Amino acid sequence: MKSDRKPVLCAVTSHPIKGVSGVPTGFFMAELTHPLKVLEDAGIPTVIASIRGGQPPIDGFDLSDPVNAWFWNETDFQHRLATTPPLSELNGADYSAVFFAGGHGTMWDYRDNPDAQRIIREVYENGGIVSAVCHGPAALVDAKLSNGEYLVKGKNLAAFTNKEEDEVQGTAVVPYLLETALREHGALHHEAPNWSENVVTDGRLITGQNPASAHGVGVALVGALHQSI
């Protein structure tokens, strides 16, 4: 990998509560750490950012997961999280790819965020890769290219399914159903059985269905970045 490779921007939610339920949430830890590990093991630089900047709320804080534990205990991961820049301060053209981690918090602050939409457009239109996993594709729902078309229109992708949302009893809690919203904007949504790994690549769009897909999204992203050298 070239040393002058632009970094991958890894974005997480800043939203801490599942709507009116009052249940704490945030970004799902393994959905950030597993792709991050694959990227950094491949020598690809990364930047962790969040919607509002600063310390993002963590969901799925599981240190029995060896990748989570390694980042938490053996690296500067805690400092990186505490000091995340807000997306508003970043320029998508500075990155080779953007990756949106999931977690239920994303359902409240990814879709409508103008800076997330802008960065997606800047990355994609500068020849970079747009990627997301689980609820992370919430950032893609309303993202448009400069021609006014939805990025997801006509594209194959994976995201947290309506069936999975139902199984975690989130259907009545989330502000919209992610699978449905993506389909409404023309996405060709591909569904695997609940909790099965499912990674879909369509050109420079790489998406995964659920936590089990996080590692695979990282692998696909590294492969795509190597091809783009």
Annotated active-site positions, please? 134-135, 165
Q: Which residue has the tokens 């505490």?
A: 82
β-strand partners of 99: 10, 131
Shortest CA distance to 103 belongs to which of 62, 57, 142, 37?
57
Q: What is the DSSP letter of 185?
A: T
Neighbouring residues of 32: CB distance < 8 A, sequence distance ≥ 6: 10, 12, 48, 101
CA distance 123 to 129: 7
Name the packing angle between helices 29-41 and 66-74 (round to 10°).
80
Contacts of range 116-122, beta carbons closer than 8 Å, 24 or more positions apart: 116/11, 116/51, 116/87, 116/143, 117/142, 117/143, 117/144, 118/92, 119/9, 119/11, 119/87, 119/90, 119/91, 119/92, 119/95, 120/92, 120/151, 121/92, 121/145, 121/146, 121/151, 122/91, 122/92, 122/93
How many helices (H) does the chain have, and how many strands (E)? 8, 10
Tokens standing for 181? 């919203």
